[in-house]
Amino acid sequence: MDRPGFFFCICPDAALLREYVERELVAPFASGGSGAPGPDVQTFWGDEGLDRRFWDALTLLGMDGRSRVLIVRGAHQLPADVWKKLSSLLGTPRPGILPVFCLECPWEKGQSKLPAHVAKLKCLAFAESRKWVWRSMGIDVRSLRQYVQKQAAAVGLRLNPDALNALSEMLIPDAAAIRGVLEQLYLASADGSVDADLVRQMTEFTPDAVIFDVIRQLENGNPRAVWKVLLREGDGGESLLFPLLTLMAREARILWQMNAGERVFVPQFLENEKRRLAARLGFEGLCRVFAALEAAELSVKSGARQPLQAMEELTASLSLIFSSPRGEKGSGR
């Protein structure tokens, strides 16, 4: 790739995005020569707006001769008038200055959900024509297992099949979370070898794994184990409420899609189990799950419940739903 005049990174995963920027954009943009200084890297945030410091860095050449990389995180949050000004300024090449715009929107159906005023930008279309755009939907259920294997090898871990299955089930598709767990496993393993028992022990120290442990125990109709996990957290699980709401809603949507006959992607070793669960709950049971999640969230946001109280009520409600045959009130199918 020729040295770009500006660059767009479209990816919802912050860790993957940072890795790409540092490896593919910052390092090659360094001034040549063994003793030459590296580029001056400055980071700005779209939700905070772009102040004079950014505009000066974009338009004024420095006196020290250093190249400059200007990274705008969350650039999709910039308003249309700011993008209009940017698009105009980007039309003038500025050697030695590389603006990098990180569009960190969620993806749907294989496409990034860019705001309309960003998707229609002339500078984005020009960047596309010059291949000054990097797109990645991040890690999903299909790619999580492969990413775990790759990162485990990178840190010197050897995962046996049961350990890999357990990690693929419990980890959220987020590069930073995955790397954090693998680094902890590396420190905990005696010789770099990891089995399922060691992975399970990590649930005591890894919040992401705790959430998946809670969901797994709920779905298995084991409320006693759920309460044991929550009590082990020290605050009764209060800090887990909103992450649990998010992940449980995602899980319920997958089960709903299965009942509707839609194509969904889950780890192969879990697919039959998930389909049996979806059939057992049926649409009516899943409606009750969504209702319980909504009630918990509204109770906290309205001030009617403290997070800990909402967490306790949600756990009780979900335990009843998942432990009841056919969702108790029927499958709804």
Q: Which of 118, 100, 6, 114 is nearest to 44 (CA)?
A: 100
Number of CB atoms found within 10 A of residue 150's CB: 11
pLDDT digits (tens, 9 = 90+) for 254-267: 899 999 988 776 65
What does the alpha-carbon distance between residue 286 and residue 290 come to, in Å, rounded to a whole number?
A: 6
HSE, side-chain direction, 13 A CA sphere, residue 252: 23
Q: How far is CA 320 from CA 62, 216, 238, in A?
A: 65, 14, 20
Question: What's the pLDDT at 74?
Answer: 93
Q: What is the DSSP letter of 4?
A: P
Q: Given the structure tokens 């009942």, which residue do they identify? A: 259
Partners of 45 in beta bridges: 73
Mean per-residue pLDDT, 278-297: 94
Q: Look at 9-23, 175-189, 242-256 and tell me which has the smallest mean pLDDT.
A: 175-189
What does the alpha-carbon distance between residue 171 and residue 153 come to, in Å, rounded to a whole number?
A: 17
Partners of 40 in beta bridges: 68
H/E run at residue 68:
strand 68-73
pLDDT digits (tens, 9 = 90+) for 88-141: 999 998 888 999 999 999 888 888 999 999 999 999 999 999 999 999 999 887
